[in-house]
Every structure is written in C-alpha cells, then in structure tokens.
C-alpha cells in the first residue's frame, strides 16, 4: 500500500466518527492539501507524497468543521461556489430548483432572474451558467454572504450580468422577473441539527420561527408583483412542508407544482400564474 493510500485509509477510519462520508472527506482533504483535483489524486495516488498539512485538515474535520469551509468551496450544478464561515453551504438537494427551472423554460431560458436570499450566489450563478444571455439580481440581508457572492461573480466571469444588493427579501425591488429563485430558512427553531450545521452555519440562514414557515409568510405574498407574466417562482421547501407552503402560495393566487429531489423528497415548489 502506498503512503497516500495508507494515509487515506487511516483518515477515513478516524473521520467515520464524525462524518457519514468519511472516505470522500479524506480524499477531498488530501487533494486540497496537495493542491490538485480529487480525480487526479484517485487516478494515480502513487504520484504524490502525503503533505504535512493533511493532518491539520483532518483535525479540523474531526472538530466538526464543515468540509466545504475547510476546502473553501462547494461544487454545485455545473459551477464551483466559494464559501466560508458566515454563509450557507450549497446542498445537492437545492439543484432540484435549477432542474425545475430548466424544465419550465427549456433552452430559451428567462431573461431576468431574481435570487432572494442569494447567500454566496448559489442558485443565481447556477441559473446564469445555464442561460448565458440572462441577467440576474441577487438579494441578501447578510453583508458576509454578499461579499462571497461578489467574489464568486468575479471568479465565474459573471460580474457584468449580475447585480448584488443588500435587502430584506423583495422589499424595495422594482420591476418584474421571469424566474424567481429562493431557498429561504425553513427549519423550525426547536429542530436539532448535526454539529457540522448547528455549530458553524449562520442561524439566520437556517431557522424560521416555531414552525419553519415565517419567511414563506413574508416572501410569498410579495411575489405576484415581482413575477412577470409567463414566469415562474421556485422555492425550496423542507421535505414535510409541501402542503403548508402550497396553501400559502394558492392563497396568493398561484398555481403550484412540486418537484422531488433525488432522494424522492418534496423539495421545490414552482409557482406560476394560473
């Protein structure tokens, strides 16, 4: 067994105590320490020696630091999103919103995109990568999140197509948008979370009152004035919130369709004008 292979095995065994993806975590940390992509590491691990920094990165993960914060990025859809402390880490489940948008618009795509609660720009930049002629606006109440979003816009070459604004959901926005994306906080305050999330990610991006619906109650009534005719607003929901959020959307005059994530859970509600 090579030195790198042995170090990966040992690290994966240790990380199993804190992670459900211990082997993947070990491989990502090793690749990061080496300054290469994971695929290059796996293709020929014998090319490399174990860097001194690897042990420190494993120690960080053993303290429940999120792997994305340690790496400084999370791959999402077809792009890489820079992240760090103070911003919500992109989840694969959120790609369901982009899938629903692609299904609605096809290759023609929306002309104007709005991402409410953009965080580091996850949904906005994924959508802009899908439709190169579109332009987008991202809004977030967090200055830290907007700083990451601005850095990501530069890294992805999307600065000229993007406007990033501080704000409170849709308040103060003018004009209408063909596609509105939103992944609001939707976790009930009493819900227990894993230490990786609870101890590190920003509570304001996670929790939304006693039932997790506080922000939907604010966002949905404001969507009719922001959504252009023929457009779609697509909201992420918790796996058990479909009917509750649907009721809020239908009360605001929307037709509602649900898309499930790869795990078969209700994940994205598409709101359109009947």
* Same domain, residue pair 59 and 100: no
Same domain? 22 vs 90: no
pLDDT at 1: 55
Residue 243: predicted pLDDT: 97
Q: What is the pLDDT of residue 198?
A: 86
- The pLDDT value given to residue 191: 86
> What is the CATH number for 163?
3.40.50.150
Q: What is the pTM of this model?
A: 0.95
Flag whether 92 is in a domain. yes
User: Could you give the angle at the alpha carbon of 77 between the alpha carbons of 35 and 133, nearest 5°?
Assistant: 110
Residue 238 lies in a domain: yes
Domain with residue 48: its CATH number is: 1.10.8
70, part of any domain:
no
Quick one: 134 and 266 in the same domain?
yes
Residue 18 within any structural domain of the chain: yes
All residue ranges of the chain with pLDDT < 50 are: none
What residue numbers bound the domain in which 254 lies? 86-272
Separation of CA 266 from chain center: 16
Residues 92 and 55 in one domain: no
* Predicted pLDDT at 190: 84
Residue 71 resides in a domain = no
Measured CA angle at 168 (ends 238, 123), to 5 deg: 50
pLDDT digits (tens, 9 = 90+) for 132-164: 999 999 999 999 999 999 999 999 999 999 999
């Amino acid at each position: 067994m090579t030195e790198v292979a042995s170090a990966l095995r040992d690290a994966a065994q240790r990380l199993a105590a804190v992670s459900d993806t211990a082997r993947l975590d070990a491989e990502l940390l090793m690749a990061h320490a080496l300054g290469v992509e994971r695929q290059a590491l796996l293709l020929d691990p014998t090319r490399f020696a174990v860097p001194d920094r690897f042990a420190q990165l494993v120690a960080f993960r053993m303290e429940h630091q999120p792997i994305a914060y340690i790496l400084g990025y999370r791959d999402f859809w077809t792009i890489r999103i820079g992240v760090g402390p103070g911003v919500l880490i992109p989840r694969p489940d959120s790609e369901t919103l982009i899938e629903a948008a692609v299904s609605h618009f096809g290759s023609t795509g929306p002309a104007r995109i709005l991402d409410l609660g953009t965080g580091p720009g996850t949904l906005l930049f994924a959508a802009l990568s899908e439709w190169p002629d579109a332009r987008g606006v991202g809004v977030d109440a967090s200055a830290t999140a907007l700083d990451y979003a601005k850095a990501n816009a530069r890294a992805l070459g999307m600065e000229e197509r993007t406007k990033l604004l501080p704000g409170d959901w849709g308040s103060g926005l003018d004009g209408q948008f063909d596609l509105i994306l939103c992944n609001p906080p939707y976790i009930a305050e009493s819900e227990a979370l894993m230490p990786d999330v609870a101890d590190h990610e920003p509570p304001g991006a996670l929790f939304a009152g006693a039932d997790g619906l506080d922000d939907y109650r604010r966002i949905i009534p404001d969507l009719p004035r922001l959504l252009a005719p023929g457009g779609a607003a697509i909201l992420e929901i918790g796996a058990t919130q479909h009917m509750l959020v649907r009721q809020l959307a239908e009360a605001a005059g929307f037709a509602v369709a649900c898309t499930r994530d790869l795990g078969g859970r209700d994940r994205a509600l598409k709101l359109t004008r009947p």
